[in-house]
Amino acid sequence: MSIPYVRDIEIEYGRCDQVSPLIRRVTANNPGPFTFKGTGTYIVGRGEVAVIDPGPDDPVHLQAILQAVAGETVTHILITHHHSDHSPLAGALKAATGATIYGCAVAGHEEEDGGVKMEAGHDLSFQPDVSLCGGGQVISGPGWTMEAIATPGHTSNHICFTLREENACFSGDHIMGWSTTVITPPDGDMTDYLASLDDIRGRRFDVLWPTHGPPIRDVDAFIQAYADHRQERLDQILGALKSGPAKIRELVPRLYADVDSRLHPAAARSMLAGMEHLVRKGQLTADTDGPDATYRLA
């Protein structure tokens, strides 16, 4: 089943767009193969507002956010996860506004093996003022109410945020309309990701607001396609190994032939996550841990 990608979005960097009754968005000028058109920073509410994913350490983007909230009070800065296109500007925004930073600190994972990393990298120094690890916390302001949902998988500390008044979910990088989500061990985990995907699907949101790209409005069908795609990738791995044991670097060019070659290193990390998931399920065995292992059917 193909994923019904949602990629149509009009971007003017630094402009504040009213995208729903309670939500505004300002997009940072950091487009790329992992960020699509750039980091979409969301502002929720009026008067006393929350800012979600302030984005990269970019003084121009900081000024755009501050201009968007001029005359208002930023009370909450909410971080979905610690990648460098999401969290680094939180400190400067806090210094400018006095707002409290909410999120979940990462547990000190190193960069991915072999020099492969997310394009934007990791913000390992990220430390929230208030921890949302585990989820369930309710955050509110005048006319808006949000809940943190722990959604590990893309990263171990990923958090999605509901907006109850609009039955909406700010999905960070957990679910994106323009692309599948990269799962990169050791911090990313496919087993956790699939469980988190089921959690979000079960909540029946009317709309998802990813940090990158336009909203997803046909939520159930999109998440089903997302899950089906993951299962298809796992089935491809199992099918490829029917012809004999193989290493990830031998399988990626075959199984990701339809993916931009610039993303093949990330695809290899995602395949490793899939391999680890299948080993846990007892469907594969490996002669060692990590990306250089030889995998075979159990």
Cα separation, 199 vs 205, in Å, equals 11
Compute the mean pLDDT over every residue in the chain, rounded to the nearest whole number.
93
271-284 average pLDDT score: 96
The pairing of strands 284-286 and 294-297 is antiparallel
- pLDDT > 90? residue 269: no
Q: Which of 7-16, 104-113, 192-201, 273-282 has the lowest mean pLDDT?
A: 104-113
- pLDDT > 90? residue 114: no
pLDDT for the residue 20: 98
Most confident of 42-46, 111-115, 270-274, 288-292: 42-46
- pLDDT > 50? residue 113: no
Do 27 and 38 touch, CB atoms closer than 8 A?
yes
Fold of 229-297: Arc Repressor Mutant, subunit A (1.10.10)
CATH top class, domain 16-227: alpha beta
pLDDT digits (tens, 9 = 90+) for 231-264: 999 999 999 999 999 999 999 999 988 888 887 8
1-28 average pLDDT score: 95
Domain ranges of the chain: 16-227, 229-297
pLDDT for the residue 217: 97
CA 236 from centre of chain? 24
CA 235 from centre of chain? 24
Length of the chain: 298
Cα separation, 43 vs 97, in Å, equals 14
pLDDT band at 1 (very low <50, low <70, confident <90, very high): low
- pLDDT > 50? residue 115: no
pLDDT for the residue 118: 46
Give me 50's structure tokens. Answer: 């929350």
pLDDT for the residue 119: 43
Per DSSP, 110 falls in state P
Helices (H), the chain: 59-68, 90-97, 190-202, 219-240, 248-255, 264-280
